[in-house]
Structure 1
Amino acid sequence: MVCVALLSNPRSTGNVAMLPRIRKFCAQRADIFHYEVEDVSQIGDALQTIARVKPQILVINGGDGTVQAALTELHHGQQFPDGAPPVAVLPNGKTNLIALDLGAEGDPIAALERIMEIVRTDLSDHIVRRELIALSGGDANGRPVLGMFLGGAGLADSILYCRHKIYPLGLPNGFSHLITAIAVVFSALFRIKARFLPPQARPISVSVVHEGQIQGKFALLMVTTLERLLLKSQTDLGATDAGPLKLMMVEQKPLTLLRAFWASLFGRLGTSSLAGVHLSHGNEIRIEGDRSSVILDGELFETHNERPIVLTHTTPVPFLSLAA
């Protein structure tokens, strides 16, 4: 009997070295169905096949972009007529925000062993529910794209800077993220433009339905349904019933950036009031600007003057948390 279905993306950064170990682990167990795709465009067909074995848990082995593609297919597709099984995520890729939120850290094999232990117990103790962000508009053509973390304004530029300038140096992920954060603050404080530094943020307008509009230049724009981020930061943003989309924006001003950077080092960014830091919840968020970038779980989108990006949310989706 198949208990766990594992969907792997061999092109994910972490799988270059890890996949042989995962293949060996799965080959030794008859209760794991392992399916590998050659491209994220094959994930829909992969889920059709996986649905036939009726797994108790669907495990995704890839970076946040792979998870995003799988969640989008699960939401729009009809692969599981009786409802999709809870989703677990192995720690993989560069940032692992979704895996981190679900308590999956460290060695992917250890996480997979933990999943196999949990599936033989009462799953209800480990099921958590998260709404997904549904992105439409901008240059996102067709059906909405689903994810759990969106970075915009200066944050999107910083993610692209880290991806194209820092990761190629081959440094540890945590050190790469720290260097990127320092470069962002340095560039914003001294207003220096250089090819080796992140670009300056462009002006944008952000609207939370029923709460109003904020305009300006922001070093950070974040929308998420996650509860835990990098550097052990929490995303409480104040308890409210206003909506599941959590919004944080940090103005691109020297003192604001210094305060926000210091708070993030201690995991307090978003949990206390800071001048120039805007916190909100909502059911619908609109982002407008001239070719301002946003990144939803690794996938890049751009706003246009007459085509804003619109964020809404889905109904709660079951996930498997590996936390004790």
Structure 2
Amino acid sequence: MHPDTTATTVAISAIEETVRIGILYNPLSGRNRRAPDALPRFISGQAQILMTEVRTPREVHDALTEFARQNVGMVVISGGDGTVQATLTELFTRSPFATCPQLVVLAAGTTNMIAGDVGLRGDQHRALLRLFDWARTGRGRIVRVERPLLRLQVPGHEVKFGMFFGAAIISQGIDYYQQNLHNQGLHGVVGIGLTLCRYLWAAVRHSNRRMTTTPMTVGIDGQPPRRENFLLFLVTTLDRLFFGMRPFWGGGQGPLRYTAVRTQSPYLLQVLPMLARGRKCLRGTPENGYFSGNVNEIRLFTDSSVALDGELYTPDTMQEPTVLQCGGRATFLRID
């Protein structure tokens, strides 16, 4: 059983005729960084489109405040998963809008995991042409995709809203990628693939226990917390992840999908390829250290860094839990 997610195709005639568009443009995101002036040139001369460069959460806040003042009804995010997370956090903690604007996500970052699930895929210039044509003429078809959001509270940090949480080799891998591969030009799926291979190979060989072991005490939906050593721990509200993976096979009705693998779980090479596609297998069981389910709340006691949409946060104490809950629902638009 999967959590409740909704994708609805809506006739264009049912959509309001005039929508003012505001674009949050992060020139430092993966794809934008390669040609930071390309999108501003593409947008120049279109007075009805507002575009603001954003590099920090504070700049996202200021841009959204100005968009609300100018009655923007659709916010387009040209940035990576971290820019989407900063936007969602602003909209769901201190939104300047009376009604949440429609959201469109472009594939302008490094991994583009959120855009790959709920956004406009492919070249962002062509995607914007389709969007602008729809806004002017009503031609095309709009798909409204609704997803729950993760609400993350890490001790010592402000509340964040996002869509993909990772710990253990996920947060370690993000740190390794940022420190060692990103600045060497190994961007996107190449860098991600190399990082995953490095950590999984270490897990298979049992060659670096520090690299592949993260001790955490985990409580799920009010159950008594249990301390385990984890190789992998992820929680998401997305339907699919990078490389098209859908590593969810457990039951339950909660909006948060979680998957975890205990350190030194047996049959790793046999089990992971099947579980990555969401297929149950005889050896992928809790007894063997493979966990998955759809839940409402997760509490983690850890002093290791955790990641939300590619951004790392380190708890400042193990005495308080890192808490994951559903933080509401957001609606994203796709134009066909």
* TM-score under structure 1 length normalisation: 0.87
Alpha-carbon distance in 2 for matches of 1:157, 1:225: 21
SS at match of 1:311: strand
Answer yes or no: is 1:167 the counterpart of 2:182: yes
Among 111, 116, 129, which residue is 1:100 paired with? 116
Alignment of 1:212-223 (within 5 A): 213-223=225-235
Alpha-carbon distance in 2 for matches of 1:234, 1:122: 33
Is residue 154–residue 313 contact of structure 2 (8 Å, CA) maintained in 1?
no
Alignment length (residue pairs): 312
Answer yes or no: is 1:55 the counterpart of 2:72: yes
Alpha-carbon distance in 1 for matches of 2:195, 2:180: 9
Among 17, 27, 39, which residue is 1:10 paired with? 27
Alignment of 1:107-186 (within 5 A): 107-119=123-135, 120-121=137-138, 125-140=142-157, 142=158, 144-186=159-201
Residue 55 of structure 1 deviates from its aligned partner by: 2.6
Unaligned runs of 5+ in 1: none
Residue 192 of structure 1 deviates from its aligned partner by: 2.3
Answer yes or no: is 1:229 the counterpart of 2:241: yes
Query: Which is bigger in relative contact order (C-alpha 8 A, separation at least 6)?
Result: 2
Residue 117 of structure 1 deviates from its aligned partner by: 3.6
Q: Name the residue aligned to 2:84.
A: 67
Runs of 4+, deviation exceeding 6 Å: none
Alignment CA distance shift 1:8-1:238 (3 Å): same
Q: Name the residue aligned to 2:12.
A: none
Unaligned runs of 5+ in 2: 1-17
Residue 118 of structure 1 deviates from its aligned partner by: 4.0
Alignment CA distance shift 1:169-1:260 (3 Å): farther
Alpha-carbon distance in 1 for matches of 2:51, 2:199: 41
Alignment CA distance shift 1:111-1:188 (3 Å): same
Question: Deviation string for 1:209-233 (max 9, x for gaps)?
Answer: 1455443222211101111111111
Residue 78 of structure 1 deviates from its aligned partner by: 3.6
Q: Name the residue aligned to 1:299.
A: 311
Residue type at the aligned position of 1:277: Y
Residue 239 of structure 1 deviates from its aligned partner by: 5.8
Residue type at the aligned position of 1:97: M
Residue 235 of structure 1 deviates from its aligned partner by: 5.5
Q: Name the residue aligned to 1:262.
A: 273
Q: Name the residue aligned to 2:333.
A: 320
Is residue 135–residue 311 contact of structure 1 (8 Å, CA) maintained in 2?
yes
* TM-score under structure 2 length normalisation: 0.84
Alignment CA distance shift 1:316-1:20 (3 Å): same
Is residue 2–residue 32 contact of structure 1 (8 Å, CA) maintained in 2?
no
Residue 171 of structure 1 deviates from its aligned partner by: 2.7
Among 233, 236, 260, which residue is 1:249 paired with? 260
Is residue 154–residue 322 contact of structure 2 (8 Å, CA) maintained in 1?
yes
